[in-house]
Amino acid sequence: MKNTIISYIKFAGAGLIASIADNITYFIMNHLGIQDVYALIGARVVSLIVNFFLLQLAVFQHGKRQDSFLRYILLVIFSTTVIYFLMQWLKPLLPQVDPVLIKMGLEFIMNFFNYAVARFFVFDDKKAEKRHEA
């Protein structure tokens, strides 16, 4: 249990670093005069790459798969799609709540799901699973 908590804290820290990279990249691209949509996409790509390598090197370093990056991209697409559709469903039900707060709440909840999927599907962390059972 203790190892799982530490692993999750590392996972959350990697997400925070990736978020900082996302915002810095967006800020730089935006101030260089790059159109907003391209700045957003560029920032998201940088964030995605930073987060993947942090997860691979610092969080799930013992879980190696040849297709981890593809699996990670699929997780990002799935998670983003779920959040998008849940936001579309919740916004009319909660008109008094700022959509940013709805998004943040959904992302907080999805983060636990994303951790489990990253651990067992993306990086195939079997060694950690066996270590936690002992």
How confident is the model over 17-41, as pLDDT tens digits? Answer: 999 998 899 899 989 999 888 888 8
Do residues 69 and 85 share a domain?
yes
In a domain, 29, yes or no: yes
In a domain, 129, yes or no: no
User: Domain tally for the chain?
Assistant: 2
Do residues 51 and 74 share a domain?
no
Q: What is the pTM of this model?
A: 0.78
In a domain, 133, yes or no: no
Of residues 63 and 87, the one with the higher pLDDT is: 87
Residue 91's alpha-carbon distances to 47, 66, 87, 110, in angstroms, are: 26, 39, 6, 17
Query: Of 59, 76, 91, which residue constitutes the final position of a domain?
Result: 59
How confident is the model over 36-46, as pLDDT tens digits? Answer: 888 888 988 99
Of residues 62 and 39, the one with the higher pLDDT is: 39
Q: Which domain holds residue 51?
A: 1-59
